[in-house]
Amino acid sequence: MEKKTVFSGIQPSGELHLGNYYGAIQNWVRLQDRFDCVYCIVDYHAVTGRTGRESDKFQDPRHESLATMSVQMAGDLMACGIDPRRSILFVQSHVPEHTELAWVFSCVASHGDLTRMIQFKDKADRSDYVSVGLFIYPVLQAADILLYRAAKVPVGEDQVQHLELARRIGRRFNTLVGEEYFPEVEAELTAGKRIMSLADPAHKMSKSLGDKHYVGLMEEPDAIWKKVRSAVTDSGEQVGGEMSPGVANLFEILRLTGAVDDVVDGFKAQHAAGKIRYGDLKTAVQDHIMRVLDPIRERRSRMSDDEIRDTLAAGAARASEIAKATMAGVRARVGVGPPPR
């Protein structure tokens, strides 16, 4: 029996961090065993964050180009265990059918639905310039997914609304053409606790919060140690009380990075007894983070940009095959394209 297709995308937004790794990427790696996976570096999505301000000009030298960042991202993903021989790894803009299908979908999607997207409302409120692209973002996302007739899309909580829209768009397209052209997409909610910011454990780890809030996968050990050492804890005075969010986060990182039960239990017992030394806990956390990151950094350092570019070209070729077929079917059903003889 044929394996189902999984699609997922990530913006080439620079360096991956621990939150990305345990929130998404590690899951991507595992899914490769059970599904045909299509992993896409969505550079056109990243363009929505690059308009408006003077500092966001496309050619501004203060920004790396998205092309450069896409290559970096691909390298990082492979270092994390995305295997381009098993999965299709490519860059969105290398397969133009994404934007082509997005146009068709923008004629299928409901304006009202789009105005209800909380992520749009959120970002629009915080921007001084709101492009149509930002508004249409979920439509392009729907195109990304359905272009490969994906059955499953691993998403975080914040993306379920967009995925629901993709389902609606697919269904409506099917209704319009009178056949089940696009399969029903299923969200695969990525479970598990999220890693929180080190400096502000009330928020999920994110680069946008600031430098000291996240641990980059490719960062130097001493840079990481500086961040781990300065992570928020508590005054440690309530014996046996609730664990503070910052401390709980450190325990979570310890667990995720594969600390053996003895180590975790030992610290837990000390914490319960009110005798824990957070300095020691942090040393252990650092130690385990580096155990995970060292081999990743090592693999990454052995890759050349040329090698990555070749891999992405091959990935784009494989993706194109599927995308072209889907798009040909769409054109035929919409009634555009070269006339049939």
Partner RNA sequence: AGGCCAGUAGCUCCAAUUGGUAGAGCGCCGGACUCCAAAUCCGGGGGUUGGGGGUUCGAAUCCCUCCUGGCCUGCCA
Candidates 128, 222, 262, 306; binder of RNA (CB under 7 A) is 128
Q: Choosing from 3, 57, 121, 123, which is the catalytic residue?
A: 123
- Our finding on whether 212 is near RNA (CB under 7 A) is yes
What are the tokens at 90? 């490519």
- Parallel, antiparallel, or unpaired: how do β-strands 88-91 and 152-155 relate? unpaired
CB 204 to RNA: min, Å: 16
- Our finding on whether 110 is near RNA (CB under 7 A) is no
Candidates 116, 121, 277, 291; binder of RNA (CB under 7 A) is 277
Question: For residues 40-79, which are near RNA according to CB under 7 A?
Answer: 52, 54
- Our finding on whether 233 is near RNA (CB under 7 A) is yes
Distance CA 264, CA 270 (A): 10
What is the DSSP-derived secondary structure letter of residue 149?
A: T
Look up 207 and say whether it is catalytic: yes
Look up 123 and say whether it is catalytic: yes
Candidates 49, 156, 183, 236; binder of RNA (CB under 7 A) is 236
Distance CA 288, CA 283 (A): 9
Question: For residues 146-185, which are near RNA according to CB under 7 A?
Answer: none
What is the DSSP-derived secondary structure letter of residue 238?
A: S
Kindly list the distances between the CA atom of residue 179 and the CA atoms of 4, 183, 184, 276, in Å, as whole numbers in the listed order: 20, 10, 12, 63
Question: For residues 281-320, which are near RNA according to CB under 7 A?
Answer: 282
Maximum C-alpha span of the chain: 82
Candidates 234, 268, 297, 320; binder of RNA (CB under 7 A) is 234
Q: Which residue matches tokens 């044929």? A: 2
Look up 152 and say whether it is catalytic: no
- Our finding on whether 278 is near RNA (CB under 7 A) is yes
CB-based contact 163:185 (threshold 8 Å):
yes
Candidates 185, 199, 289, 293; binder of RNA (CB under 7 A) is 199
What region does 120 belong to: left with phi over 0, alpha with psi -120 to 50, or beta? alpha
Q: Which stretch binds RNA (CB under 7 A): 153-161, 210-218, 252-260, 306-314?
A: 210-218
Distance CA 17, CA 14 (A): 9
Active site residues: 123, 204, 207
Which residues would be at the binding site for RNA (CB under 7 A)? 52, 54, 128-130, 199, 210-212, 229-236, 246, 276-280, 282
